[in-house]
Amino acid sequence: MDKIRPDQQLTGMAGEFLTVGKLFKRGYQVSVTFGNAKGIDVLFLISKAGLKSLSAGE
């Protein structure tokens, strides 16, 4: 019998939202890009350092 595998795209999005939630809880301004920025999944603002980004490889 074949195992049912979770949708990789949904799993990735869940991870992005989990990361965004944790960063937001720590007081960062955070945004999910929803695929609009090539190679960037999450944007967040650190007031002294400026705009930073996270991608799946980081």
The residue ranges of DSSP E strands in 1-58, in sequence order, are 29-32, 42-46, 50-54
| Structural domain count of the chain | 1
pLDDT for the residue numbered 32: 85
pTM of the entire structure? Answer: 0.65
Asked if residue 43 belongs to a domain, the reply is yes
pLDDT for the residue numbered 33: 84
- Does the pLDDT value for residue 54 go beyond 70? no
Q: Considering just the CA atoms, what is the radius of gyration of the chain in Å? A: 14
Mean pLDDT of 7-29: 86
Asked if residue 15 belongs to a domain, the reply is no
Asked if residue 52 belongs to a domain, the reply is yes
Structural domain boundaries enclosing 57: 30-58
